Amino acid sequence: MYIFIKKVFLLLISIMKKAIIVGASSGIGLELARVLVRNDYLVGITGRRKNLLEELKKENPLKYFVKSFDIKDLSANEKNLNELVIELGGLDLLIISSGTGSVDADLCFEIEKEIIDTNVSGVTQIAIRGFNYFKKQNFGHLVVISSIAGLRGGRFVPSYGASKAFQINFLEGLRQKSRHDKLNVTITDIRPGFVDTAMAKSPLKFWVAPASKAAHQIFKAIKKKKNVAYITKRWVFIAYIMKLIPKWIWERG
């Protein structure tokens, strides 16, 4: 009887969808992990704070797989991801939710460099690793949490908006590459406005959404395989207005 139950369990595990969320220790990434588990995914969760990842795992020990690492460590990212994919038994969905940003009124290079190392170098390396993995298996879905801040430059922390602009254009390039090469690889760019997380540091916050609501809308966008989604949905109007504002007005700050 035990052997039969074990075989049934292994069969169920084998047919479940597998996802990795890079940056799942808090905020949007954490809430997305919960949404995916509720929708019958096996979920690999990563982040720098292992204690927070272990706390999340306790909510459903059979569906969470923990791998703690910092995406700024470019020498170890591929090894960590490979190990997590093996633990999961495959990969269907890769979500990169990891990111950083701090208000930098004094324009400190170390703050700006931290943002670039995480949001540009780290995210790019992991995204390329995911894209090539999906290309090889001929299916998969890559999702990156960018930001509405990537649409225009911002004086509060210049590198943050610039790093998100990089992500937006990088994802557009990957999407073009996927289509040109006739790959079955979906690329989704999630552009949140203000979400109630530690990342919401701007002194001009409004329309702040709970992380759980943002995660629910992100999951809906993933299921629909959208190219771009603004979170929450009302931010599409702000994006439209931001694009229309003339440079001479915008640069007055």
Query: Exposed (0-12), middle (13-18) or buried (19+): which is 122, by Cβ within 10 Å?
Result: buried
Q: How far is CA 200 from the centre of its chain?
A: 16
Which strands sit side by side in the sheet containing 228-231, from one edge to the other? 64-68, 41-47, 17-22, 93-96, 140-145, 185-192, 228-231
- Give the closest residue to 157 by CA, choosing from 100, 239, 110, 101: 101
C-alpha–C-alpha distance, residues 55 and 210, integer Å:
20
Name which of 2, 82, 39 is nearest 10 in CA terms. Answer: 2
The token pair that represents 211 in the structure block:
């992380």
Q: Which of 41, 64, 133, 160 is catalytic?
A: 160
Closest CA to 22 of 46, 4, 57: 46
Nearest 5°: the CA angle 78, 181, 221 is 70
Could you tell me which of 194, 199, 195, 192 has the C-alpha nearest to residue 212?
195
Q: Please confirm, yes or no, whether 160 is among the known catalytic residues.
A: yes
Report, as residue numbers or ranges, the catalytic residues.
Answer: 160
